[in-house]
Amino acid sequence: MSTPTGPITSRFDPRFEVTLYRHVGVEGAHTLEHYLARGGYRAARKALTGMTPAQVVDEVKASGLRGRGGAGFPAGVKWSFMPPVDGRPRFVVCNADESEPGSFKDRYLMEDDPHQLLEGMLIAGFAISAHVGVLYVRGEYYLAYERLQGAIAEARAAGLLGRGVFAAEATEETPAVAGFDFDIVLHRGAGAYICGEETALMNSFEGLRANPRLKPPFPAQAGVYGFPTTINNVETFCSVTHILDRGAAWYAAMGTADSKGTKLYQLSGAVARPGVYELPMGATFRELIFDLGGGPSESAKAIIPGGSSTPMLPWREDTLDLPMDYGTMAKVGSMLGTGGVIVIPTSQCMVDAMANVVRFYAHESCGKCTPCREGVSTWLPKMYQKLLAGLGTRDDLDLMEDMVRNLRGTAFCPLADACAMPVAASFQHFRHEYEHLVDHGEAMFPPRARWTA
Amino acid sequence: MELPTLRPFFADKADVLQEILDRYPPYGRRSALMPLLWEVQRAERHVSEARLQEIAEIVGVTATEAKGVMSFYSTFHEHPVGRFHLQVCRTLSCKLAGADELYRHLVAETGLVSGETDADGRFSLQNVECLGSCGTAPVLQVNDTYHERVTRSRCDELLAQMRADREPPPTRERGGDNVAAAKADRMVGERRAADDAPVVPDAREGTA
C-alpha cells in the first residue's frame, strides 16, 4: 500500500503516531528524567529562547487547535484576547476539573505524563506573558495531584519553573528570554462538577462558592482575582507542547476542515475494550468502537458522542461512519464535547439511563439561578422518579418535552443545557420507550444484572 | 483531659500553615480556604465547627462564609467519616458496568446506606457522581485511592483487607492506549524502531 496523501483522518494511516498518549501507561513516565530523555522541554526551550510571544500565539492559531475541554473554541484565538501587558498580574489557568461523565483522559495524562502538561502551561504562560499558572485539579484525582506535586518540585529544582527559566540560554538575538519567570500553583478542588465552568473554577480557586460569574467580562478581561486570565483544558496544553515541538503544519495535516490535530477519545459503556484512544480528528465512530474498542459487547442502540451532556445518536450504520469532529457533530445535532463516547446497550432502559444522567446534573446544579435550581435540580428528577415508579402518563411526557425546551438557553450557565439536551435527544430517538413505560407501567427493558462476579 | 478540638489545629503546624498561605498572593489570602479545609479533613476525617472557625479566622472571613464554601463541595464532611471511606461512583458508565449492584452489595456487607458511618468508625459509605474512571468501571474509591474495574470477588477481597485494618493497595486497571503506549515503548527499547506502526491493544490486559 502506498503512503496516502491528503489530511490524516485515520489512526491506521501510516503517517499517524500516538503523540499525547505516547508515555501514558509506561512505568516511571511521570518522572522528569524519563521525560527529558525523550525530548522533554524541547518545545518550551524552542519557544522561550527562539520565539516572541506573538509568534507562539500565531503558531497555535495556525495549528487550528480547538479547546479540548468541550466547547472547542480555537485556542490561539482565545490567547489573542488577552489585553496588552500593562503591569497588572496575568494568569494562565489549567482546568483539570475533569468531571463530565464519560470523560477520563486528563486523569491519565496527569498521572503518567505530568511534565507534558507543565511544559504546555509554561509555553502558554510565555505566549500571553503570564508569570503565574494555576493548575486546578479535581479533588478526587489524588494520585494525579501527588504526581503533579512531584513534577512541579522536579521542574523547580531543574530550573524549568521559577525565576529566569532558560535564562542561561539567552543569546544576543533573544534577550527577551533573559529570565522568563513562571511558576505554577497547584490547587485541589473538592467535588463539584460546576467547577469545570471556567468562571466557577475561578471563584472556587479564590475561596468562594463555585457559582459561575456573569459574562462578559470574559476571563481575558477579568479572570482570577479580577486580572487578565487565559484558561484551557489539560489536553489543550498538552497539545500545545507538541505543536511547538513539531510545528503547526504537522498538527494541521491531521483532521478535517474545521477540526485539526490529534485527539483523545474516551470509550466506555457496552464495548469489548473500553479506554482512552488517541486518533486524528475526523476518524469515524466505527474506527474507534470496532477497530480499537473491539466492537460492542452486546447489542447497542445509541452512542453518546462526547460526554453525557451531548445529545445521543441512534446506533446505525450511517452514524458509525460519521467522522468524530466538531463540524460533523454539530451538523447531526450533537456535539463533540470532550470526546467521551458512551455506547448504550439495547438492553438498558433509556428512561432509566436518562434518569441517571438527570440525577447527575441535579446533584451538580449550583442553585444560583431559578431555571436550573427548580428545573434541573428539582422538577426533572422528580418526573423521572414518577415515570420509573410506573406512575407516569402520556401528558407527563408532553410536559417534560415542553419543560426541557423551555430550559434551553434560559439558565445562567451551560449546566442546564447540559442536562436538557440529552433529555431532548432521548425523547427524539427513544420516545417509544417512554411511552411503553407509561402505557404498561413497566419498562420495555427491565433492569438486569451487569456486575462482573 | 484536654479535648482535642480545644487546641487549635495549626497551633503546632506553623510551617504547614505558612507553606499553604505562601502559595497565594497577599490579596488572595482567601484562596487558602480550601487547602486548609483539606489539611484538617485529612487528619481528622471531617471538619468540625471549631476547626472551621479557626480556618475562617486565618483567612479573614466569617465562620458563616467559610461554612458556605465548605458546604458547597461534596467531599468536605461535617461529621467524621470512617477510617475507610467507601465512595461508589453511580453515574452512567459505572451504572452500565454494575455500579447499582456494587452499591447494594456494600450496603448489605456494611449495613450502611449512603451518608452513614458505622459505630466503630471503620466504614462509611457514600454514593458519588462520576469519578472519571468510565473506561475502567465500576470504580470504588477508598479514601484517596481508586480501585478500578471492581468485580464482586475483588470487592470482597477489599472488604476483607479493610476488616483486618489494612489499607488495600490501589488496583489500577487500564485499557485503550494506556496499554498500547506501554507496548510501543518496549518496542522502541528493543529495536529503536523509527517506523512504529500504530499498536492495536489486546483485550484488557496490562495492569500497571
Q: What is the DSSP letter of A372?
A: I
More confident residue, A13 or B203: A13
Check CB contact under 8 Å for B184 and A142. no
Please tell me the CATH superfamily of domain A32-252, with its number: NADH-ubiquinone oxidoreductase 51kDa subunit (3.40.50.11540)
Q: Per-residue pLDDT tens for B172-190?
A: 777 888 766 555 554 443 4
Contact residues, B window 166-205, toward A, CB-based 8 Å cutoff: 170, 174-182, 184-185, 196-201, 203-204
Q: What is the DSSP letter of A243?
A: H
Residue among A23, A102, A366 minimizing CB distance to B134: A102
Q: Per-residue pLDDT tens for A216-250?
A: 999 999 999 999 999 999 999 999 999 999 999 99
Task: Work out the average pLDDT over A420-442.
Answer: 97
More confident residue, B194 or A324: A324
**E strands of A18-142, at which residues?**
91-96, 132-137
β partners of residue A264: A278
B38 in Cβ contact with A188 (< 8 Å): yes
Kindly report the nearest CA distance between residue B120 and chain A, in angstroms: 25
Kindly report the nearest CA distance between residue B88 and chain A, in angstroms: 12
Is B90's Cβ below 8 Å from some Cβ in A? Answer: yes
Check CB contact under 8 Å for B93 and A360. no
pTM of the model: 0.94
Q: Per-residue pLDDT tens for A261-314?
A: 999 999 999 999 999 999 999 999 999 999 999 999 999 999 999 999 999 999
Percent of chain B past pLDDT 90, that is, above it, reads: 77
- pLDDT at res. B180: 62
Nearby residues of B104 by Cβ (< 8 Å), 6 or more positions away:
none
Domain boundaries, chain B: 4-70, 84-163, 176-208
Kindly report the nearest CA distance between residue B95 and chain A, in angstroms: 8
- pLDDT at res. B203: 36
Does the pLDDT at position B62 exceed 70?
A: yes
Q: Domain A350-440: which topology? A: de novo design (two linked rop proteins) (1.20.1440)
Does the pLDDT at position B201 exceed 80?
A: no
Chain B residues touching residue A205 (CB < 8 angstroms): 31
Query: Is domain B4-70 given the CATH code 1.10.8.100 in the classification?
Result: no
**E strands of A51-118, at which residues?**
91-96
CATH number of B84-163: 3.40.30.10
Percent of chain A past pLDDT 90, that is, above it, reads: 95
CATH number of A257-307+315-345: 3.10.20.600
Does the pLDDT at position A369 exceed 70?
A: yes
Which grid cell sits at B126? 457514600
Does the pLDDT at position A169 exceed 90?
A: no
Does the pLDDT at position A255 exceed 60?
A: yes
Q: Per-residue pLDDT tens for A181-190?
A: 999 999 999 9
Chain B residues touching residue A139 (CB < 8 angstroms): 38, 73, 75
- pLDDT at res. B182: 57
Contact residues, B window 95-124, toward A, CB-based 8 Å cutoff: 95-102, 105
**E strands of A149-212, at which residues?**
162-165, 180-188
Report how far residue A303's alpha carbon sits from residue A86's, in angstroms, rounded to the nearest whole number.
48
**Looking at the predicted complex, does its ipTM rise above 0.90?**
yes
- pLDDT at res. B204: 36
Q: Per-residue pLDDT tens for B90-110?
A: 999 999 999 999 999 999 999
Mean pLDDT score of chain B, rounded to an integer? Answer: 87
Contact residues, B window 50-69, toward A, CB-based 8 Å cutoff: 59, 61, 68-69
- pLDDT at res. B6: 73
CATH 1.20.1440.230 residue window(s) in chain A? 350-440
Q: Per-residue pLDDT tens for B144-172?
A: 999 999 999 999 999 999 999 999 998 77
Chain B residues touching residue A276 (CB < 8 angstroms): 135, 175-178
Q: Per-residue pLDDT tens for A32-87?
A: 999 999 999 999 999 999 999 999 999 999 999 999 999 999 999 999 999 999 99
Task: Work out the average pLDDT over A22-29.
Answer: 91
Chain A residues touching residue B23 (CB < 8 angstroms): 185, 187
Nearby residues of A5 by Cβ (< 8 Å), 6 or more positions away:
none
Check CB contact under 8 Å for A453 and B151. yes
